[in-house]
Structures are given as structure tokens and as C-alpha cells.
Amino acid sequence: MKSILIVGLGRFGHHLCMSLVEKNNEVMIVDGDEECLKDLLPYVTTAKVGDCTDVNVLKSLGIGNFDICFVCIGENFQSSLEITNLIKELGAKYVISKADSDIHAKFLLRNGADEVIYPDRDIAEKVAVRHSTTHVFDYAEIAEGYLLTEIQPIKEWIGRTVKQTEVRTKYNVSILGTKKNGQVKMLPGADYIFNKDDHLMILGLKEDVDKVLDRLR
């Protein structure tokens, strides 16, 4: 369980808040509009109405006590930048700020953000990948440049073992697990035989995973 501060309760902030609460974190929320907080009051540890571009408001929150501070302001980049900077100066341990563009991200990282997220871009990219082929079931970037993707086996793999297909050597990706009828098996051995009904969880650099996806289109 972590202690988390969320500044800005738009649509993304709301979804983030509820997800963090469901995972048993202690969450404090702050927004300048009281209406944005009302529906979350039963779930959060603390809620406060205030203008977080005011350093005195931020000081009253005890910034240094939170494990993570999220700045989820999307419509006013100037405010997002100011708040990110002030929170870091007040001793925040880790600041994650929402960005809408690469240029916003660069400024946020230069002004106190430890990490920047692009929720709209990330969702759009994930949806695009999933619906560009009928054989991709899920898709996520788990580290910079690395993708974990759930796919159907390439046709040439079906009926052959992991060793015979030389997945690692030929495609430079790793098979972390297989899923069939809701049952997941992690790290299949070299003698595992691919079935046409399998879902494979593959991990690799984006350019290598993309080569696998091209074979499925």
C-alpha cells in the first residue's frame, strides 16, 4: 500500500483515483473545483479544494509524506508545469505528470517530473495495434522500447515445438507464457508444441515484436 496524491480530477484523474483505491492505496485528491471531487469522497482518504499553483496550498498538503504525486492537469499546461515544479521543490519523492505532447513532456521532465505519461496517446496506440490485425489480443509497453503482446501463433509455428521454431533466434523475442481456455502457463519449455488455439505472450523490443505482428497480418 502506498500513499498517493492526485492533483487534478478530470476524466483521467478520476479513473486513476478509483484504480489506485481498488488496489488498497491511500489516496488524497485535490482540485480547484469542488464538483470534481464529490463523487470520489466516499473512496479516498482525504480530499481538498484548492488552487495548487499557490505554494501555500501545496505546503498544507505535506508533499514529502506521499510516495507518489500525480499531476493530472491536461487543459492548462502552464498550471501543470508550475505545479509539477512546485511539488518537486517542496520535497516530493516521485512526481508523475500527464502530458499531451512531446514538447509538454520535455518541459515537464526539465521542471521536476520524474516520469511523464501520455494516456490519450497510449490508449490510441494500443487500440490501433489491436485492431490492425485480428490476431492480437492485448498489447502493452512495459518498459521504454519493450512490448508485451498477446498474440495468436504464426501459422508456421502451429504443430511445432518452441525449439523447432527457433523463436528466440529467428525473431529475437521471448515467449513468457501461453494461455488456452483461460489457463495460463508461464515460461513454456523447449518441447512445448504450439496449438492454433493458443494465445502467446511475447516480449521483445518494439521493432522485433512488430516483425512478428507483420507475419500475422
**CATH top class, domain 122-216:** alpha beta
Residue type, 79: S
Q: What digits encode the pLDDT tens for the residues 86-142?
A: 999 999 999 999 998 888 889 999 999 999 988 877 766 666 666 666 677 887 777
- CATH 3.40.50.720 is right for the domain spanning 3-117: yes
pTM, 2 dp:
0.67
- Read off the C-alpha cell for 134: 485480428
136 Cβ contact partners less than 8 Å away, ≥ 6 residues apart: 129, 130, 149, 150, 151, 152, 213, 216
> What DSSP letter does each residue of 45-109 carry, written as one string?
SEEEE--TTSHHHHHTTTGGG-SEEEE---S-HHHHHHHHHHHHHTT-S-EEEE-SSHHHHHHHH
Annotated domain spans of the chain: 3-117, 122-216
